[in-house]
Amino acid sequence: MDKLPLHISISSDLYTKNPESSVLGQKIVSKSIEMIDALGFEDFTFKKLGVEIGSNESSVYRYFESKHALLVYLINWYWSWIEYKLVFSTLNVPSANERLTKAIFIVTAEVTEDNAFSYINEVLLNKIIVSESSKAYHTKAIDDENKKGYYKTYKRVVQRISDLVLELNPSYEFPHMLISTVIEGAHHQRYFSKHLPSLTDFEEGKNNIVRFYENLVFKALAKK
């Protein structure tokens, strides 16, 4: 499934010029992923990116109006990709219980396999989501950006999984809170496990993050 050369298309509101449309654009996206992962979002600049891709700062601005806009683009690409994985892995699975289990796995497990067909390294992109994505929406411009559709892919993923929750337990009061808590929580736990381990109960190779959230969700949904 991961090996499909799937094509992810991103709303044109999220770029100035479509980076898919040229070799330079693709290099901007793939190199920026490597560099944001390596340097962190703060120390990443279009100037440094220009040097790495053998081009110029000003050329990067023709694709993205700011580095914030580039981060938002990457985040949307990521959630589109997750959405594909969700749809494929739950297709033709009759049991709602099993579909929800698969969905939880997709959003809480570490991404370890890169889809070699694309110029986007999903392993690094997942690391960026874990470490940097909260900076995209913790901004004073959030309300304007939300209106422009900057976060709609993420919201759609949450909605999809919330629908599975309601299928299993139609009277559950907090499906969106449950799923956004699981998604954001899993990212935090991955980050904490590496940097502030006393905030977690992470143990290498024991899948504790996935198991914890699976357990949390199914207990929350169980009817007494």
Partner DNA sequence: TTACTTATAATAGTAATACTATTATATTTG
Partner DNA sequence: CAAATATAATAGTATTACTATTATAAGTAA
* Binding residues vs its own copies (CB under 8 A): 39-40, 42-43, 131-132, 134-135, 137-140, 142-143, 146, 151, 154-155, 158-159, 173-178, 180-181, 184-185, 188-189, 191-192, 195-196, 198-202, 208-209, 212, 215-216, 219-220, 222
Query: Which residue stretch of 48-56, 74-82, 119-127, 192-200 sits at the interface with DNA (rule: CB under 7 A)?
Result: 48-56
Give me the residue label for tokens 């950006």. Answer: 145
Residue 201: contacted member of DNA, its own copies, none (CB under 5 to 8 Å, by partner type):
its own copies
Residue 124 and residue 37 in contact, taking contact as beta carbons nearer than 8 Å = yes
Query: Which residue stretch of 44-52, 99-107, 171-179, 212-220 sits at the interface with DNA (rule: CB under 7 A)?
Result: 44-52
Tally of CA atoms within 13 A in the half-sphere of 16 that contains its CB: 13
Residue 25: contacted member of its own copies, DNA, none (CB under 5 to 8 Å, by partner type):
DNA
Q: Confirm or reject binding of residue 218 to DNA (CB under 7 A).
A: no
Task: Please state the closest distance from residue 62 (CB atom) to its own copies, in A.
Answer: 25
Burial class of residue 197 (count of CB atoms within 10 Å of its CB; 0-12, 13-18, 19+): exposed
User: Of 32, 63, 34, which Cα lies nearest the Cα of 49?
Assistant: 32
- Helical ranges in 3-151 per DSSP H: 23-39, 46-52, 57-61, 67-90, 96-108, 122-137, 142-147
Q: Confirm or reject binding of residue 46 to DNA (CB under 7 A).
A: yes
Nearer to DNA, 17 or 102 (CB): 17
Query: Which residue stretch of 46-54, 80-88, 96-104, 214-222 sits at the interface with DNA (rule: CB under 7 A)?
Result: 46-54
Nearer to its own copies, 37 or 122 (CB): 37
DSSP tag of 110: P
Residue 73 and residue 12 in contact, taking contact as beta carbons nearer than 8 Å = no
User: Of 84, 80, 77, which Cα lies nearest the Cα of 20?
Assistant: 77
Query: Which residues lie closer than 8 Å to 34 by C-beta, 6 or more apart?
Result: 121, 124
Residue 126: contacted member of its own copies, DNA, none (CB under 5 to 8 Å, by partner type):
none
Residue 87: contacted member of its own copies, DNA, none (CB under 5 to 8 Å, by partner type):
none
Nearer to its own copies, 121 or 131 (CB): 131
Q: How far apart are CA 51 and CA 48, in angstroms?
A: 5
Dig out the tokens for 91 from the structure.
Answer: 């297709």
Nearer to its own copies, 11 or 115 (CB): 11
- Among positions 11, 59, 97, 181, the unique one binding DNA when judged by CB under 7 A: 59
